[in-house]
Structure 1
Amino acid sequence: MIARQPIVNDRHQVVGYELFNRARAPYGHTADSDVTLVFTALSHAGEEELVGTKLIFVNCTHESLSGEHLDLLPPERVVLEVPPLGHTAASEVNARLPILQSLRERGFSLAFNHSVLESAYAAWLPLADYIKLDLSLLAPDQLTVMVRFASRHSHAELIAEKVESAQQHELASRLGVALFQGYWFARPSVMQTKLLTPAQQNIVQLITLVREQASTEAIEEVLKKDAGLAFNLLRLINSASFGMQREITSFKQAVLLLGMKKLFRWAAMLLTASREGGPPPAIGQTAVIRGRLMELLARDSLSHIDTDQAFVCGMFSMLDHMLGLPLPTAMALIPVPDAVAAAVLHREGPLGELLILAEACESRDNLLYQRSAEALQLDLERINGAHLQAMAWTDHLADL
């Protein structure tokens, strides 16, 4: 579960959301949980987008600030909240300065709490894009001093956080604070996320292939054997983060557009975020067999059908079982060609007929099997052979 709390301007317009990982204790987080939060935000599969086009404020540890998972984020939309070091020496503050400077140079914005106004953090203050002032800790006279100091010595926008009353809002606004966060405006709203968790062995294999600079075809084969990998990659590549001018519906396209470096970062982040609790393995296996069967039949007998579309159609026809969502809702989460959507949702067109045939093979519905075979003008022996091939191919992939 992810919680988000809006950050608003003086007109109560939302400018961004701070994200919290509610899988952990409130306000408790580690480098690993930071990665999980970012991955879930990127690959979110709920009924609405987590943040839309607003700014994303993400709490970080100093360890996660140097993490390579940040390469996947759109820096112009991300504000990294940097924690203070506690009772620390100036040498420790200066030691972390190069990392913070590098993040700003890459385009990330940095937010600090009011500790950055202390003399010990003088080296960090010029890097502050946002400074959060906690109204549950600061008395009115302290707030006044800090706002004036920040205005004179930094270019940061000030955010009054934990605003819980009209009086607090009025005071901060009168002092010149322009951004606000707190219960007075909105409590954090918890959003249930639906993610497909791939098998860890498949993620490891993907990482290995990428490190070895394997061919796109070899990487595509790994994606084809795990619906979770395929779904999450298409979600990522079509997210607002990448700003694609057209929807990407092919695994090969997704791999080429993402590139080896970012694909490695994504797979490593996915490995960190993966956990128990996904759909039963049999569902994913059935989806892969269905996709492979449809691909083989389309390749051999229906040359006018894109075989990639046939595979995607078969695999994603079981998204409702894998995500625990109604099929139309699940299909709306990823871009697919119109022919695939028509086939999966309405069993329309040649792909729809192929899907009916694949389902008949699974259920051993002889009447439906024969009717679909005749409609597609496919030989029964060839269908049986393709089904056996699909099952053998899927078993082989599982052993890799």
Structure 2
Amino acid sequence: MTNPTPPASPPAAGASQAGSTGSMIARQAIMNGQQAVVGYELFNRSRSTVGHTAASDVILVFTALSHAGTEELVGKMLIFVNCTHESLTGGHLELVNPDKVVLEIPPLGHVAAAEVHARLPILQALRSRGFHLAFNHTVLESTYAPWLPLADYIKLDMSVLARDQLAVLINYAGRHSQAELIAEKLETAQQYDMVSSMGVEMFQGYWFSRPTLVEAKLLTPGQASIVQLLNLVRSQASTDEIEEVLKKDAGLAFNLMRLINSAGLGMTREITSFRQAVLLLGLKKLFRWAALLLTAVRSGGTPPAVGQTAVVRGRLMELLAQEFLPAEEADQAFVIGIFSMLDQMLGMPLASAVGLLNLPEELSTALLQRSNVYGQLLTLAEACETSDDHTFDQIAQSLHLTNQQINWAHLQALAWADQMAPA
């Protein structure tokens, strides 16, 4: 509910790289009485965002979940998100872990009690799903009495409330609700001492921290790939067909894995193939996610060259792995190949990029240390790209693969990637 003006500081270091886009999100810490951070309120500060709308609410939550930067936007803290009443029924809320999200519900203005009652079922449904609800101090007015039992947090605006008003509101909230009180827009030590002495135990404002800007990166998939995925999911296509679409677009694959491993989704698992990712998320959430991704990213319509190279590399490794490994392990080879260029796609060290994904240790080791059979396959794939004959011969001999097998697999991988690329 606060809407502070962010300080005139530069964006976080690291401009968007090829294959990625960035939007600016401001976050401000919410502290407890021990001055420990318990959550962050998020604000969309992208230049493309005009005003506070239902659409901006949706994109803010989605971007926070899918953020691909080295620094987590919220980590395991609570996410406080300003909402419009129109956005409260949006399907984007199905993609988040409600335990981590506090929805800040705005007042309705000068309205009749009938409208307050009309909104009540939506708020009750959100709370029954596990979302936390926050209101500003107007929820303590008699008109909003039906909403008060739903309040987990009540924000007290220090910029508009006088000391005597605060005393009355704090006393009333303590007697008529179970909500925790947050003093917001707190700017001085005197204000802090005053509200602390009145029993308030949570705080937000410049006295503690100013909003900081974070460039929230999204790895950009091709729009054609997203549309194809949406059509397949809508027609309830097979998992095999859906997996094929994910395989052809490194950006699409990364975003899905990032979502599943987001702390905000609450589903962190070790994923070794895109098939597992599809089955874990389910068709309904997959459709919702793809629709939001189409809205959230700006794409040129075709995958960047580095993404295309990653797709070829993944397919080559998969074909070579099929020569001597079971099918499931060959799938893992594809995952390693397609994610081996995340450093270039995201503009960050590969170790940091891999850290965003909850990959099994065997896969992470292959990407970062090249110390197992998958790492050898990755080194071999790179040798094919650079015509490094010495490394090519060395790894081929170690894996008992012939030149003919490798060259044929490389041609197949190139042809497959061309066929799979969006028109």
Instruction: Specify if TM > 0.5.
Output: yes
What does residue 95 of structure 1 align with?
118
CA contact (8 A) 2:270 2:360 kept: no
1:233 deviates by 1.6
What does residue 185 of structure 1 align with?
208
Deviations 1:203-236 (A, max 9, x none): 2222222222221111111111111221122222
Which residue, 226, 245, 263 being the options, matches 1:203? 226
1:108 corresponds to 2:120: no
CA contact (8 A) 2:262 2:268 kept: no
CA contact (8 A) 1:249 1:335 kept: no
What does residue 295 of structure 2 align with?
272
Q: 1:190 to 1:226 in 2, by over 3 A?
A: same
What is the one-letter code of the residue matched to 1:368? T
Counterparts of 1:278 and 1:35 in 2: how far apart (Å)?
Answer: 23
TM-score normalised over the length of structure 1? 0.92
Which residue, 74, 78, 95 being the options, matches 1:55? 78
Q: Between Structure 1 and Structure 2, how many residues are aligned?
A: 400
Q: Which structure 2 residue ranges, 5 or more long, are not aligned? A: 1-23
CA contact (8 A) 1:116 1:125 kept: yes
Counterparts of 2:232 and 2:147 in 1: how far apart (Å)?
Answer: 40
1:108 deviates by 1.1
Q: 1:278 to 1:120 in 2, by over 3 A?
A: farther
Which residue, 266, 288, 304 being the options, matches 1:281? 304
What does residue 17 of structure 1 align with?
40
Q: 1:135 to 1:279 in 2, by over 3 A?
A: farther
Deviations 1:69-98 (A, max 9, x none): 101111122110011223333333332222
What does residue 249 of structure 2 align with?
226
What does residue 381 of structure 1 align with?
404
Counterparts of 2:67 and 2:275 in 1: how far apart (Å)?
Answer: 22
Q: 1:215 to 1:112 in 2, by over 3 A?
A: same
Which residue, 101, 107, 110 being the options, matches 1:84? 107
What is the one-letter code of the residue matched to 1:60? C
1:277 deviates by 8.3
The structure, 1 or 2, with the larger RCO (C-alpha pairs under 8 Å, 6+ apart) is 2
Structure 1 segment 349-368 matched on structure 2, within 5 A: 349-368=372-391
CA contact (8 A) 2:89 2:122 kept: yes
What is the RMSD computed on CA atoms of the aligned residues?
2.4
Which residue, 53, 61, 75 being the options, matches 2:98? 75
CA contact (8 A) 1:238 1:248 kept: no
Moved more, 298-307 or 388-397: 298-307
Q: Which structure 1 residue ranges, 5 or more long, are not aligned? A: none
Partner SS state of residue 40, structure 2 = strand
Counterparts of 2:243 and 2:370 in 1: how far apart (Å)?
Answer: 26
What is the one-letter code of the residue matched to 2:320? L
CA contact (8 A) 2:248 2:311 kept: yes
Percent sequence identity over matched residues? 67
1:129 deviates by 1.7
Which residue, 122, 125, 131 being the options, matches 2:154? 131
TM-score normalised over the length of structure 2? 0.87
